[in-house]
Structure 1
């Protein structure tokens, strides 16, 4: 008797996320995903149109998880406390899910109607809410996102892998505080 499988898009994307986190974004190919799922590559096209959509949907899935962690983590906080907590949650999430960092690094590849693009827009809207304190912006969301992603991209390169984790966190917080209260005002 043949083995009957119950595979759906969610299982495909969960496996894609795991594959990308464990082996890197470059390992997220249709043949590798098919192998991980123990199916033929052609069968994947029942769930995703192509590799680009698979990466977009995988990134969107991770963005949704990160978004929820941020929302849960900043409830009841405001001002610089919410700002710092937001940045810490994003950093921790991206260090844990390095594949999302890689996907975000290539965000310009996604069309404006892609799932990933929509999740990025949703996160930017949340950032705008976090940095807006009683109608006064602590910082531009563009500046905050650029600083956080830039720090994380550098932190994950071999250049800084010998840096102590506590030192990296202190440096990260120092950067964040300087963004909202510069030592020398420009």
Structure 2
């Protein structure tokens, strides 16, 4: 049976996702949430850029690997019970949120609410069509075509970049990924400049 969290395509190498690396510089200074952080390669990248990082995962061994300078860890399973009751974060408290290869749809409104004005959400996970390459293959754990764009529209988030398609490296997979920002905030530029 598929699970909601799958090993990241880049986790075996310990390298951050190229998508996260591409957009992490857009996150304003402040605290960043690395949700379903795994071994913490994104947490370490964020901390190296001067962010205060909260790395959250349900696996204590993963959290032990993620812990380090500038990185606080929190063990949390958000898939049991009502996500709204178990969500421990206040509204508008994170300047950035990073999520890779994790999908639990009840969290969408909570992630959007927890993003501070001007904050950036970077999200990447498996999409429909991945079943041809292996797991996850259960449609419940695969994003539908354009699903992340619908999430952005439903929560009033500005889409900076979006991709939906096949990657070949480090292994073939169907992915959907988005970088989006919440309006407002003193540090939020009117336009984002991409290299």
Q: Greater strand share, 1 or 2?
A: 2
Larger CA Rg, structure 1 vs 2: 1
Greater helix share, structure number: 1
TM-score (norm 2): 0.27
Structure 1 length-normalised TM: 0.28
